[in-house]
């Protein structure tokens, strides 16, 4: 089915929604189609708890924020990009305030600024511990008021249509009608989020299957720094909890990590203890679990803060844990590390532009150079806001040179309905497990080579299945997950050092010279 639009946005988190609003305001005569493969609010933004980092008072400074970001990035940040993004923070956040985001205030009526790992000052604006949810809902409300934005939920992007490094749009599956649309657009923007679903334990929602990165890679875009996958130190450990994140802000307010015998251990790993960068805290927990053989560690806020403080500052965590019989005002929380944020992605400029003409990538799917080898806590929502702003202005600036190029409809060939869906679940389970065991928090060359052999075999199986059977969302996601898994593995093998989030026991030290890892599909 042929569909045309001026701008096609794939993804409905903070990046995609902000971009849609900005494009509509800058060019109200153009049509904007925003698609999401699940409900509009179902994405990583909605589940982001911590907040947005921004210099907001006189005791802090942009230079301090820059230095904290560069330090966390461990030598691989693009300093020019870091400065450009952090300088814009107050202006972009004021725009959120203008659409109704009510950041939490203290008893003096001032914004209650949190402090998280790696930050030298309190600079994290938040809405209690449900920041992302509040931002997402306000953005959705704003988008739905704009006439020239059309929203299609449960539309799953299958592949980009790109020839000679020029993107003309995408093939998209309408999951309800099972029709496949070829959507031609002047500009196509990927705002599809991360790839946490690739790992056995993740804080990400199920939609985080690396779709944008995989599609851009197949279209010829350059992919950078995929070996740097950030693991959040504290994910709720419970057989019925689906990877619920315990916000880092809790450690910022004094919560301490203990082993199951009640002994604190972070002082053995870093002078900043619980407020060390996430990679250090994650490796410390991993080391403790390997040393003791325990299944989890404990995060204790109950002995540090009053019940009223805990309930008022962390209502989301309190309610979620209580559903599983854990009263965080009285007892510690069982936690384990989990895959949290993809610091690599499609190589872009600050405006999301890529090496593929008319293709833009923003948010977690992109690698701008802000995060380097490790993301500083609460810089991600900020990056999404700033890059969406820059993307909108670049697209409108070049609007006279953009044209809709229609392309052929989807050709199903001899594909038949699947009778072997178990192949999808089996392969997905295999990928998640060997990625966790071989390409997780601590790596070795032997583990990485094992992972490479497995992913090559699975890719052959998945690609054959892809062409033999009719398209469905689970198959699209599996194909993308396998592609991203290989990108991570190959990137990790090529980095002969330990830096930032990437830690290899065979190369425990940093190289004197280091640069981003880049990959491009062979043509």
- Tell me the pLDDT tens digit for each residue of 431-468: 999 999 899 999 999 999 999 999 999 999 998 888 88
E strand spans, 213-317: 223-224, 229-236, 256-258, 297-300
Longest C-alpha distance within the chain, in Å? 68
DSSP letter at 271 equals T
Contact between 300 and 332 under an 8 Å Cβ cutoff? The reply is: yes
pLDDT at 522: 67
Residue found under tokens 């995609």: 16
Q: Where are the beta strands (DSSP E) in 259-401?
A: 297-300, 333-342, 345-347, 359-361, 366-367
DSSP3 helix / strand / coil % (the chain, rounded to 5): 40, 20, 40
Structure tokens at 216: 């851009």
Q: What is the pLDDT of residue 351?
A: 98
- Among 480, 459, 220, 487, which Cα is nearest to 345's? 487
Calculate ∠ Cα 136-142-147, nearest 5°.
135
Is residue 339 a contact partner of residue 199, using CB atoms and an 8 Å limit?
yes
Identify the helix (H) or strand (E) that includes residue 424: helix 422-438
| CA–CA separation, 508 and 491 (whole Å) | 17
Model's pTM, two decimal places? 0.91
Residues involved in catalysis: 278
Residue 335 to residue 298: CA distance in whole angstroms: 6
Q: Is 328 exposed, middle or buried (0-12, 13-18, 19+ CB in 10 A)?
A: buried
Q: What is the spatial distance between Cα 311 and Cα 313, in angstroms, rounded to a whole number?
A: 6
Stretches where the chain sits below pLDDT 70 are 522-523
The helix/strand/coil state of 256 is strand
Tokens standing for 495? 């980095």
Distances, alpha carbon 285 to alpha carbons 282, 382, 429, 441, in Å = 5, 28, 24, 10
Report which of 164, 210, 171 is spatially closest to residue 188, judged by C-alpha positions.
171
Q: What is the pLDDT of residue 512?
A: 85
Residue 85, CA distances (Å) to 382, 383, 389 in order:
8, 7, 11
Buried b (16+ CB within 10 A) or exposed e, 336-366: bbbbbbbbbbbbbbbbbbbebebbbbbbbbb
Domains and CATH numbers, the chain: 2-228+343-401 (3.50.50.60), 233-339 (3.90.700.10), 422-507 (1.20.58.100)
Measure the CA–CA gap between 62 and 122, rounded to whole angstroms.
13
- pLDDT above 70 covers what percent of the chain? 100
User: Which strands sit side by side in the sheet containing 297-300, from one edge to the other?
Assistant: 229-236, 333-342, 297-300, 256-258
DSSP E strands, 387-477: none
Calpha distance 342→502 (Å, rounded): 12
71 exposed, middle or buried (CB, 10 Å; 0-12, 13-18, 19+)? middle
Nearest 5°: phi and psi at 88? -75, -10
CA distances from 352 to 16, 153, 358, 371, 401 (A): 12, 23, 10, 15, 17
For the chain, how far is it from start to end, CA to CA, in angstroms?
29
For residue 106, give the 3-state DSSP assignment: coil
Beta pairing, strands 166-174 & 179-190: antiparallel
Alpha-carbon dihedral of residues 407, 409, 410, 412, nearest 10 degrees? -140
Rounded to whole angstroms, how far apart are CA atoms 107 and 264? 32
SS3 489: helix
The CA distances from residue 270 to 127, 175, 267, 483, in Å, are 29, 49, 6, 36
Burial of 258 (0-12, 13-18, 19+ CB in 10 A): middle
C-beta separation of 286 from 269 below 8 A: no
């Amino acid at each position: 089915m042929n569909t045309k639009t001026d701008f096609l946005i794939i993804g409905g988190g903070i990046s995609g929604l902000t971009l849609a609003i900005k494009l509509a305001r800058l060019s109200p005569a153009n049509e904007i189609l925003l698609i999401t493969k699940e409900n509009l609010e179902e994405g990583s933004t909605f589940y982001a708890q911590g907040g947005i980092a921004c210099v907001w008072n006189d005791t802090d400074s942009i230079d301090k924020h820059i230095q904290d970001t560069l330090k966390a990035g461990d030598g691989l940040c693009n300093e020019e990009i870091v400065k450009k993004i952090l300088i814009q923070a107050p202006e972009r956040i004021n725009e959120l305030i203008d659409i109704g985001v009510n950041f939490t205030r203290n008893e003096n009526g001032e914004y209650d600024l949190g402090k998280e790992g790696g930050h030298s000052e309190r600079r994290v604006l938040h809405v209690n511990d449900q920041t992302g949810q509040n931002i997402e809902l306000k953005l959705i409300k704003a988008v739905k008021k704009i006439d020239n934005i059309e929203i299609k939920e449960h539309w799953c992007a299958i592949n980009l249509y790109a020839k000679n490094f020029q993107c003309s749009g995408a093939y998209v599956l309408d999951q309800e009608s099972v029709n496949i649309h070829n959507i031609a657009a002047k500009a196509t923007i990927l705002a599809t989020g991360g790839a946490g679903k690739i790992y056995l334990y993740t804080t990400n929602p199920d939609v985080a299957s690396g779709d944008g990165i995989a599609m851009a890679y197949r279209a010829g875009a350059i992919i950078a720094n995929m070996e740097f996958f950030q693991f959040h130190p504290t994910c709720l450990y419970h057989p019925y909890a689906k990877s619920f994140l315990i916000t880092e802000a809790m450690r910022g307010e004094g919560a301490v990590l203990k082993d199951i015998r009640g002994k604190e251990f972070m002082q053995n790993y870093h002078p900043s203890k619980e407020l060390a960068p996430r990679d250090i805290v994650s490796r410390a927990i991993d080391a403790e679990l390997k040393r003791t053989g325990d299944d989890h560690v404990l995060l204790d806020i109950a002995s540090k803060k009053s019940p009223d403080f805990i309930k008022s500052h962390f209502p989301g965590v309190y309610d979620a844990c209580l559903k599983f019989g854990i009263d965080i005002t009285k007892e510690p929380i069982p936690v384990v590390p989990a895959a949290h944020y993809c610091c690599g992605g499609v190589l872009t400029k600050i405006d999301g532009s890529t090496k593929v003409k008319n293709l833009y990538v923003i948010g977690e799917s992109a690698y701008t150079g802000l995060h380097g080898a490790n993301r500083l806590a609460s810089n991600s929502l900020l990056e999404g806001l700033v890059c969406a702003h820059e993307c909108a202005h670049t697209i409108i600036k070049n609007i006279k040179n953009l044209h809709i190029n229609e392309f052929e409809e989807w050709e199903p060939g001899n594909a038949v309905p699947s009778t072997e869906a178990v192949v999808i679940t089996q392969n997905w389970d295999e990928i998640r497990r060997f990625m966790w065991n071989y390409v997780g928090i601590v790596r070795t060359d032997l583990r990485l080579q094992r992972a490479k052999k497995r992913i090559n075999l699975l890719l052959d199986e998945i690609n054959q299945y892809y062409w033999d059977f009719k398209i469905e969302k689970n198959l699209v996601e599996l194909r993308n997950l396998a592609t991203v898994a290989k990108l991570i593995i190959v990137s990790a093998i090529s980095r002969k050092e330990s830096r930032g989030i990437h830690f290899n026991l065979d190369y425990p030290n940093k190289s004197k010279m280091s640069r981003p890892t880049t990959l491009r599909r062979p043509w």
